[in-house]
Amino acid sequence: MKYILSIDQGTTGSTALLIDANLKIIAKKNFEYPQIFPQMSWVEHNPEDIWDSVKKSVKFVIDESKIDVSKIKAIGITNQRETVSIWNKNTGEHYHNFIVWQDRRTAQYCDLLKEKGYESKISDKTGLLLDPYFSGTKIRWMIKNVDSVKEAIEKKEAIAGTIDTFLAYRLSNKKVHVTDVSNASRYMLMDLENLQWDNELCSLLGIDKSILPKISESSEIYGYTEGLDFLPDGIAIAGIAGDQQSALFGQACFKEGEGKCTYGTGSFILMNTGDEIVKSKNRLLTTVAWKLKGKTTYAIEGSAFIAGALVQWIRDGINFIDDAPEIEELANKVEDNGGVVIVPALTGLGAPFWRADLQGMIYGISRNTNRSHIARAVLEAIALQNYELLKAMEKDTHLDLIKLKVDGGASLNNLLIQFQADILNVTLERPKSIETTALGAAMLAGLATGIFKGLDEIQEKWALDKAYYPSPNEYVETTLERWELAIRKILTK
């Protein structure tokens, strides 16, 4: 048996998974690491904390599985996107912590660019909105504010990269400086059509293109492990994709019109648009899904900032429940929401509204409202945000969603997923393994190394756990009406 090591490097921790040629997870381990908040709205990660968490998780799964490490034939990497740093290409010493995707320190600069009229140019070229979320303005901030970075660039010693680039560099003993097209498409510096760093955008942000990684396909051999104390030399580093694109691939959404929703802290919906670059008119993002054997597949993406975080808030913030799984049991004690609708704008509203200034609202409380109505409204709020995203996607693509595959922790909540199917009027499918982000990276690595012969083989190995069939009804229509009324109220504040 041949094995693939999948490294899923996330915002709060790093997970290693050993996966066999049948896509069965043999061993899995996550290690968390500290979050750094230097000041309000700044979020950083120490590179060594990340690297240590990766090493510990990899060592753990190898020890637990007791496999012969010589049978690990490939490594796939998937990562939190947009999080970026700059380091010395010769020594590996970082000039600054990673600046995390959540970081808002460049908001004022982004506003300045908008005032100067650059937003449409950036959006046309990159498919992204002009926002601190993306990597480009973070790189510029380090160049402008960290003296050692300026000096290193002058000496041609500085290189920049997102987490995928960092891990490939470390795993290969500093031999590889690479990213894949899916991660590169999140820098706000890459032209979506030619898949190259754009001269005009790099010049606008004052970034020397020479410090940026080589843009490669999502499935190819980038290099080999070397000089590590926890893995042997010679394992192919062979698959890279940003976490949401990796989940789309891991869900085997290989056809145009297929989509997936990942329910995590927030929720992310991606729809495969094939070889077409769909420019959103509804403030969604256009992104590269992956590139395989010279063929580029694109996607359109929408994200809601708050999904599972809403359940965490009512658990930890107001002590409404003791454990997250309790919410489904509580919500199932009533047949409806009792007229209660929640707009979960705890950190503003994401796509398609993009209103960071808004705050949350509980609408429709009466003397008859009880805890179960609130619990049900919490779960429905997650689904209602996704309704807005899918509605915007269908307008942009003129495609009717064939089906939506779901993953992430909250996808195990049957009440939530059934209501999601009802409100979208689309069949939802949950796979047997909801570790689709890690599986996607493993699939990409397996394709590059011949463990998998092609997409058809992967499609056959994707296994369905449960399908949720839509049942539109009067309750769904009434809830949608109340949601739209609540949204109108909050948007006019």
> What's the structural domain count of the chain?
1
CATH number at residue 168: 3.30.420.40
Query: What value does the mean pLDDT take over residues 313-329?
Result: 83
75 falls within a domain: yes
β-pairing, 196-197 with 236-242?
unpaired
Query: What value does the mean pLDDT take over residues 247-260?
Result: 92
Q: What pLDDT sits at residue 131?
A: 86
276 three-class SS: coil
58 falls within a domain: yes
Alpha helices in 172-297 (DSSP H): 181-184, 199-205, 243-250
411 falls within a domain: no
Q: What pLDDT sits at residue 266?
A: 78
Domain that holds residue 70: 3-244
Q: What pLDDT sits at residue 155?
A: 92
The answer on pLDDT for 83 being more than 90 is yes
45 falls within a domain: yes
Query: What value does the mean pLDDT take over residues 19-29?
Result: 92
Write out pLDDT tens, residues 106-160. 988 998 999 999 999 999 999 998 888 899 999 999 999 999 999 999 899 999 9
Q: What pLDDT sits at residue 493?
A: 65
The answer on pLDDT for 400 being more than 80 is no
Q: Beta strands of 293-350 (E only): which ranges?
A: 295-304, 341-343
Query: What value does the mean pLDDT take over residues 199-214?
Result: 95
119 falls within a domain: yes
335-336-341 Cα angle (round to 5):
160
CB-CB contact of 427 with 403 (8 Å) = yes
Q: What pLDDT sits at residue 291?
A: 97
Average pLDDT taken over every residue of the chain: 91
Give the other-Cβ count within 10 Å of 75's Cβ: 29
485 falls within a domain: no
The answer on pLDDT for 211 being more than 70 is yes
Q: How confident is the model at residue 36 (pLDDT cuts 50, 70, 90)?
A: confident
**What does the DSSP assignment read for 388-410?**
HHHHHHHHHH------EEEESGG
The answer on pLDDT for 43 being more than 90 is no
Q: CA 404 to CA 173: how far, in whole Å? A: 40
Query: What value does the mean pLDDT take over residues 156-185?
Result: 96
Query: What value does the mean pLDDT take over residues 252-271?
Result: 88
Question: What are φ and ψ of residue 71, in 5° steps?
Answer: -90, 0
The answer on pLDDT for 310 being more than 90 is no
Give the other-Cβ count within 10 Å of 357's Cβ: 8
Token pair of 376, please?
A: 């049900």
- Judge residue 185's burial from the number of C-beta atoms within 10 Å of its C-beta, 0-12 exposed, 13-18 middle, 19 or more buried: buried
| DSSP code for 348 | B
The answer on pLDDT for 461 being more than 90 is no
Q: What pLDDT sits at residue 103?
A: 83
Q: What pLDDT sits at residue 322?
A: 80
Write out pLDDT tens, residues 389-399. 888 888 888 87
Q: What pLDDT sits at residue 326?
A: 85
The answer on pLDDT for 254 being more than 90 is yes
415 falls within a domain: no
365 falls within a domain: no
Question: What are φ and ψ of residue 356, in 5° steps?
Answer: -70, -15
Q: CA 241 to CA 292: how far, in whole Å? A: 12
Write out pLDDT tens, residues 325-334. 888 888 899 9
Beta bridge partners of 304: 267
Question: What are φ and ψ of residue 255, in 5° steps?
Answer: -105, 150
CB-CB contact of 288 with 248 (8 Å) = no
What own/partner pairs with CB < 8 Å and gap ≥ 24 does 47-53 have?
47/85, 47/87, 47/94, 47/97, 47/98, 47/166, 50/9, 50/14, 50/98, 50/163, 50/166, 51/166, 51/170, 53/13, 53/14
